[in-house]
């Protein structure tokens, strides 16, 4: 196995070969029938983690900020393919582009270690990828930049939590975990 030199980003297939999955767990999640996932409660990504997608829950001042592309689509979190950049950098950029948010800080809550199923059109069955879940606390939220195709809505925290649980029933436990962490930070004056 060949490892990339310093400063060089390995390809997704190279990262899949270098990444060592965690031992078997009792609880597996179904992510849209394309992935079998398990939650890893670690706050840093492992070296050579094959990250291909990230989720970020955006909060500020006791409110949650949801985004969507089209009228009538369900409100969701900031999420999407990482596309060859650092997952946290993707989250920071997407928070500004999709919600008009200037980020105060980002905290990784953990990650989903995912194995592709036979229903996955983009990966071979058994391929492993990693999807981190972030809490993003904004210091300011301005208008959504024009031309990006997104709209944003601010919810009271209880309504935001309900909307996110409805939108992401597969990861409902981790939506709650992220909001609980935010409430704790807010109580300490950091939210």
Q: What 3 state SS string does 129-166 have?
A: EEEEEEEEEEEEECCCCCCCCCEEEEEEHHHHHHHHHH
Structure tokens at 48: 């050579």
CB 137 within 8 A of CB 59: yes
92, pLDDT greater than 70: yes
pLDDT in tens, 5-47: 555 666 766 666 677 666 665 678 999 899 999 999 999 999 8
- Which pTM was predicted? 0.85
Round to whole Å and give the CA distance between 186 and 191: 4
159, pLDDT greater than 90: yes
The C-alpha R_g of the chain, in whole angstroms, comes to 17
105 φ, ψ (degrees, to nearest 5): -155, 160
Q: Which are the contacts of 51, defined by CB distance < 8 A and separation ≥ 6?
A: 45, 82, 87, 129, 130, 131, 132
58, pLDDT greater than 90: yes
Other C-beta atoms closer than 10 Å to the C-beta of 185 total: 16
Is domain 25-187 classified as CATH 3.90.79.10? Answer: yes
66, pLDDT greater than 70: yes
Calculate mean pLDDT across residues 161-173. 94
Percent residues over pLDDT 90 in the chain: 73
Calculate mean pLDDT across residues 105-124. 95
The rounded mean pLDDT for the chain is 89
Other C-beta atoms closer than 10 Å to the C-beta of 24 total: 7
137, pLDDT greater than 80: yes
Check residue 1 and give its pLDDT.
45
For the stretch 123-141, what's the b/e string if a residue is b when 16 or more beta carbons lie within 10 angstroms of its beta carbon? beeebbbbbbbbbbbbeeb
CB 112 within 8 A of CB 29: yes
């Amino acid at each position: 196995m060949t490892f990339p030199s310093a400063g060089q980003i390995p390809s997704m297939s190279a990262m899949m070969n270098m990444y060592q999955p965690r031992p078997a767990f009792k609880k597996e999640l179904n992510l849209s029938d394309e992935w079998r996932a398990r939650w890893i409660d670690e706050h840093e990504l492992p070296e050579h983690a094959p990250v291909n997608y990230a989720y970020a829950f955006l909060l500020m001042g006791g409110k949650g900020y949801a985004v969507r592309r089209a009228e009538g689509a369900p409100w969701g979190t900031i999420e999407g393919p990482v596309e060859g950049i650092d997952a946290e950098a993707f989250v920071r950029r997407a928070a500004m582009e999709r919600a008009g948010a200037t980020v105060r800080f980002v905290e990784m809550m953990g990650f989903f270690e995912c194995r592709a199923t036979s229903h996955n059109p983009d990966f071979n069955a058994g391929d492993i990828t990693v999807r981190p879940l972030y809490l993003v606390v904004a210091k300011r939220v301005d208008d959504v930049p024009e031309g990006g195709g997104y709209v944003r809505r601010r919810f009271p925290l209880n309504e935001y939590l309900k909307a996110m649980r409805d939108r992401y029933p597969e990861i409902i436990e981790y939506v709650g975990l992220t909001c609980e962490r935010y409430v704790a930070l807010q109580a300490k004056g950091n939210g």
